[in-house]
Chain A
Amino acid sequence: MEWKPDWGLRGRMVLTMFLLFALYIVFIGILSQYMGLFGVVVVMGLFSLGQFFFSDRLALYSMGASAVEEDEYPKLHATVGRLSQQADLPKPTVAVADTRVPNAFATGRSPKNSTVCVTQGLLQTLDEDELEGVLAHELAHIKNRDVMVMTIASFLSTIAFLIVRWGWLFGGGRNRQGGGGMIVAILVSLVVWIVSFVLIRTLSRYREYSADRGGAAITGNPSALASALLTISGRMDRVPKEDLREQSEMNAFFVIPIKSDFVGRIFSTHPPTEKRVERLREMAGEMER
């Protein structure tokens, strides 16, 4: 089973990561001129570390999801087990969330410590092949260590945001008399925050494409994932609105984010479904050649 590696996607991902990295270097450079950076970094480091270690439990908790045993969902467990075997991953914890919104997400800081969660809505909506496609997409996220990569990518962005928000409190450092230094630091942080926000969202979209490709490689069936994406996005529009708003902050984790009218495409964590489906269809086509 062969298809062309997507060099365009790889190139854009490397470029995005490079830009983010460069931006952060400049940020640290400028920041260290104006304020006692050390304390901020230590405090934020601890905060991020905590977030990193508890993100999985947090995500499951906020979704009202709980881990399920093998005898409760034997079929789901068997599917996850075999897909993990194909992906060369230890079998993750399987969780089910009791909501009608059809969706799935994966969390966990490392392949040995991860959870795949599906909603009841997903189990009811998709057929077997489609469900396999979605699960494989989530396993690809685990395999690609997306939680870790995105946590690291967002780390300094979070610091920038906190300086913008609370910077006036940290008036200290060497330039106590002229509060000007702090104002510069806050302005720089604002710029860094905005630019890194866009870059992180871009990176997130590229990683969705990568997970689509990885998922298709695991199942050997790109069309099934494509049809699952279409089924889910079609169903999403018909799900009651309250439910949607309740879960909108979980978007970054979902296989398909909940639609939102006011957030532009540049700020979305996922590529548009049509584009993902189109790319998956190309892969399906290449397999026949």
Chain B
Amino acid sequence: MGLFDSIRSVFGLSAEADATREADPEDLFGMSTAYVTMEADLEFVPVGAAALCFSSVDSTDFAAAVDEVETILHVGEEDTGTTFGRHEDDHGYHWVVLEDSDPEDLVTSVHFAADTFVEEGFGSRLLAAVFGFERPRDGARAYWIYSFRRGAYYPFAPTGRHERDNRLEFKLQSVLDGELDVDGDESYWYPLWPDGADGHPWE
């Protein structure tokens, strides 16, 4: 924590400033090569889906921004073949779920959607982009979650409804660190539990 941050919190401004800080989609593209390493070194294949999680805002402008994102993804559907769906989860958070067998197209579409949010002035509401992986051998699931607040990735390997496989997560971190910008501080590796027993976090 820098001096500037300390001063801001002394004056009671940190919460307001950080919660409305713009998203940092800079390192999102790291995933477009990371999926190769995931398969080659760790036997994890992409599940063919990725998702963008955002929290809503109680305003009309925000609803318009979400419509704009949908329109843009709809147009993209014809170019890349990436299909998308939208839904709200049990916690009241919104998801844009993208499906495509080509992981590179997924990364592009996620980036595109995120960019649109930023342009519409709601970048601060973007929470995470989630990329799903599966190990065919034992069906283990693992996710790379990009935190727009931190501007970095972190691994998430749920094993049950509220259990996570920390060993696998640290392994993912050690293998992919360098290729992806991995958040070195595990206290920011927030879980995104799936609602159902063996669904993805976005389901």
Smallest Cβ-Cβ distance to B195: which chain A residue: A78
B161: chain A residues within 8 A (beta carbon): 71, 74
- Whether A210 pairs with B190 at a CB distance below 8 angstroms is no
At the interface with chain A, which of B15-23, B32-40, B174-182? B15-23
Q: Is the CB of A14 within 8 A of B11?
A: yes
* Chain A positions within 8 Å of B93 at CB level: 82
A48 at the interface (CB under 8 A from B): no
Identify the closest chain A residue to B12 (Cβ): A210
User: In whole Å, how far is A141's beta carbon from the nearest beta carbon of chain B?
Assistant: 8
Q: Name the contact of B121 in the complex, choosing from A2, A129, A141 (C-beta under 8 A).
A: A2
Contact A86 B127 (CB under 8 A): yes
Q: What residues on A are CB-neighbors of B92 within 8 Å? A: 128-129, 132
* B125 contacts A by Cβ under 8 Å: yes
- CB proximity of B108 to chain A, nearest CB, Å: 24
Contacts of B200 in A (CB 8 A): none
Task: Mark the stretch among A174-182, A218-226, A252-260 that contacts chain B.
Answer: A218-226
| A-side contacts of B3, CB under 8 Å | none
B66, chain A: closest CB distance, angstroms = 13
Does A74 lie within 8 Å of B162, measured CB to CB?
Answer: yes
Task: Assess the B190–A1 pair: CB atoms within 8 A.
Answer: no
Answer yes or no: B150 CB below 8 A from chain A CBs.
Answer: yes
Instruction: Pick the contact of B124: A1, A85, A112, A213 (CB < 8 A).
Output: A1
**Contact among B15, B55, B121, B128 with A210 in the assembled complex (CB-CB below 8 Å):** B15
Q: Once the chains are docked, how many angstroms separate the CA of A228 from the CA of B29?
A: 41
Contact A218 B58 (CB under 8 A): no
- The residue that A284 contacts in the complex, of B13, B21, B58, B149, with Cβ under 8 A, is B58
CB pair A90–B187 under 8 Å, yes or no, is yes
User: How many residues of B are counted as interface, with CB atoms below 8 angstroms from the partner's CB atoms?
Assistant: 41
Q: Is A145 within 8 A of B10, CB to CB?
A: yes
**Interface mask (A135-146 → B, CB under 8 Å = 1, otherwise 0):** 000011101111
A71→B150 contact, CB < 8 A: no
**Is B14 positioned at the interface, with any CB of A under 8 Å from its CB?**
yes
- Residue pair A143, B149 in contact (C-beta under 8 Å): no
Please tell me the number of chain A residues within 8 Å of chain B, measured between CB atoms. Answer: 51
Considering residues B61, B62, B91, which has the most beta carbons from chain A within 10 angstroms of its beta carbon? B91
Residues of B within 8 A of A81 (CB): 190-191
Asked whether A211 lies within 8 Å of B15 as measured between CB atoms, the reply is yes
A42 and B57 CA atoms in complex are apart in Å by: 49
> Quick check: is B188 within 8 A (CB to CB) of the other chain?
yes
Distance, CA A223 to CA B57, complexed state (A): 11
B59 touches A288 (CB 8 A): yes
Q: Min CB distance, B15 to chain A, in Å?
A: 3
Q: Does B83 contact A (CB under 8 A)?
A: no
A206 interfacial contact with B, CB 8 Å: yes
Check B18 against A87 for contact (C-beta < 8 Å).
yes
What residue of chain A has the Cβ atom nearest to residue B185's Cβ? A90
Q: Given A78-B193, A81-B190, A132-B92, A214 and B58 touching (CB < 8 A)?
A: no
A232 to B114, CA, bound (A): 37
Query: Shortest Cβ distance from A146 into chain B, in angstroms?
Result: 7
Asked if B13 and A210 sit within 8 Å, CB to CB, the answer is: yes
B62:A82 contact, CB within 8 angstroms? no
- What's the minimum C-beta distance from B63 to chain A, rounded to whole angstroms? 11
B71 at the interface (CB under 8 A from A): no
**Assuming A1-B20, A78-B193, A207-B12, is B187 touching A221 (CB within 8 A)?**
no
Q: Give the one of A140, A144, A210 with max B CB within 10 A.
A: A144
Interchain Cβ contacts under 8 Å between A and B, 10 examples: A1-B20, A87-B18, A88-B149, A91-B190, A140-B19, A144-B9, A210-B15, A220-B55, A220-B62, A288-B59
Which residues of chain A have a CB within 8 Å of any CB of chain B? 1-2, 10, 13-14, 17, 70-71, 74-75, 78-79, 81-82, 84-88, 90-91, 112, 128-129, 132, 139-141, 143-146, 149, 206-207, 210-211, 213-215, 217-224, 284, 287-288
- 4 shortest interchain CB distances as A-B pairs: A214-B15, A210-B12, A140-B15, A220-B57
